[in-house]
Structure 1
Amino acid sequence: MDGTPGLRERKKQRTHAAISDAAIGLFLEHGFDAVSVAQVAEAAEVSKRTLFAYFPAKEDLVVHRLADHETENARVVRNRPPETAPLTALREHFLRGLETRDPVTGLNDLPPVRRLYRLILDTPALVARMERFKNGAERELAAALRETADVPELTARLAAVQIVAVHWELAKDNADRLAHGEDADARHTGAVADAEHAFALLENGLRDLADVP
């Protein structure tokens, strides 16, 4: 076995891609709410039953493109070099993502990515679906912290909630700026500064809020 997908698997991958491409094209042209699942199935030349076998909910037709990133922070924590703190590894990973214009950081202004950002940010149902995505990312990261950093369960959960929220806010801010016309290269310096500030807050906790002005 050389790891190459068999004929059946390749056919499933082609069907998955065809449905996704048809859906995104229709949503970008007409808007998410204006397009029905039946229209997507017709454009992809599959039945509704087949479509739902690949994508259980309409929102998944869009959000699935980010699905691999749901466990990304957990993978970073589990695979970090020895003697590297989890937060350091996550910070360095996010900064590398900004440098390489990883779409998950929100700092990618390729036209198809920019349009996808705008679609998600302007569609309440997709923003709500992203909240479920965040919940899954929090659970995965909390598990990774418990397993590799030997921290109590509550500490791991609280840390994961804060880290994922920071990632989401940074990415959302970048994506919103780019979706409305800002250039990724021009935004990069500000995005790095914002990320450094955010991770410094994570590192220092909320001690500044405990001081009386």
Structure 2
Amino acid sequence: MSEPEGLRALKKQRTRRAIADTAIGLFLTNGFDQVSVAEIAAAAEVSKPTLFRYFATKEELVLHRFADHLGESARVVRDRPAGLAPLAALERHELERLAAHDPVTGLNDAPEVLAFMRLVYDTPSLSSHLRDYIAEDTDALTSALADARPDTGALAPRLIAVQFIGVRQELALANWRRLSAGTPIEEAHRLAVAETAEAFALLRGGAGARGY
């Protein structure tokens, strides 16, 4: 008798998570470039072909954690309440993520989160591949902004999306660096909120004039 579809999907999710967790543990201990795919497969007790069925590249073993947030900014713009400007919706969302200490904001002082972000930022191949995720996120936000204000033409939504995504990444990097240097989380949060407000004020100086 075959397994129910839901059970098969659950087993696949568990296998995927186990492979990724094993890989990240090895990377954090030994360094990304010093660990081979064969070593990861052996430690996770799967074959290399099985590993590649779940993760197409070695980099995806790490960066899949960012994939959960792909398109998030676009969804915030599309799902915003009536009457709320896109930038206002994005700012509110960023502040909510900071308050929740979402690891993607860089404002999370859990040792494993700080170590994971160091792995990403300090490994050239991971930082390079992360730009692919950022580009995809930028495309999605561009589309959402264009739909929000179809009267502004094609260039403005793209430029605003590029600026916002760039600002978001820089703020996250600043938060991570601050915590890595030993700044208490309460002080880091206060500074992050202030810098977020400053960043959006600068964005509004240009984007706001176009109705965003």
TM-score over 0.5 (shorter chain): yes
The amino acid of 1:39's aligned partner reads: E
Alignment: residue pair count: 203
Alpha-carbon distance between aligned partners in 1 of 2:105 and 2:71, rounded to the nearest angstrom: 15
Tell me which moved more, 142-151 or 178-187.
Answer: 178-187
Alignment partner, residue 91 of structure 1: 91
The amino acid of 1:62's aligned partner reads: V
Alpha-carbon distance between aligned partners in 2 of 1:105 and 1:67, rounded to the nearest angstrom: 14
Answer yes or no: is the 8 Å Cα contact 1:117–1:179 preserved in 2: no
Alignment partner, residue 211 of structure 1: none
- The offset of 1:5, in angstroms, is 6.6
- The offset of 1:149, in angstroms, is 2.6
Alpha-carbon distance between aligned partners in 2 of 1:129 and 1:74, rounded to the nearest angstrom: 21
Answer yes or no: is the 8 Å Cα contact 1:70–1:133 preserved in 2: yes
Alignment partner, residue 167 of structure 1: 168
Instruction: Quote the RMSD (CA, aligned, Å).
Output: 1.5
The amino acid of 1:102's aligned partner reads: D
Alpha-carbon distance between aligned partners in 2 of 1:156 and 1:94, rounded to the nearest angstrom: 19
**Unaligned segments of structure 2, at least 5 residues:** 208-212
Alpha-carbon distance between aligned partners in 2 of 1:85 and 1:11, rounded to the nearest angstrom: 42
Alignment partner, residue 183 of structure 1: 184
Alpha-carbon distance between aligned partners in 2 of 1:61 and 1:199, rounded to the nearest angstrom: 33
- The offset of 1:122, in angstroms, is 1.1
Alignment partner, residue 61 of structure 2: 61
Alpha-carbon distance between aligned partners in 1 of 2:27 and 2:160, rounded to the nearest angstrom: 36
- The offset of 1:177, in angstroms, is 2.0
Alpha-carbon distance between aligned partners in 2 of 1:44 and 1:96, rounded to the nearest angstrom: 36
Alignment partner, residue 77 of structure 2: 77
Alignment partner, residue 200 of structure 1: 201
- The offset of 1:68, in angstroms, is 1.3
**Unaligned segments of structure 1, at least 5 residues:** 207-213
String of CA shifts for 1:146-176, please: whole Å, max 9, x gaps. Answer: 1223242211111110110000100111112
Normalising by structure 1, what TM-score?
Answer: 0.91
User: Which aligned runs of 4 or more in structure 1 are off by greater than 3 angstroms?
Assistant: none
Normalising by structure 2, what TM-score?
Answer: 0.91
Indicate whether 1:139 and 2:173 are aligned.
Answer: no
- Aligned-pair identity in percent equals 51
Alpha-carbon distance between aligned partners in 2 of 1:83 and 1:5, rounded to the nearest angstrom: 42
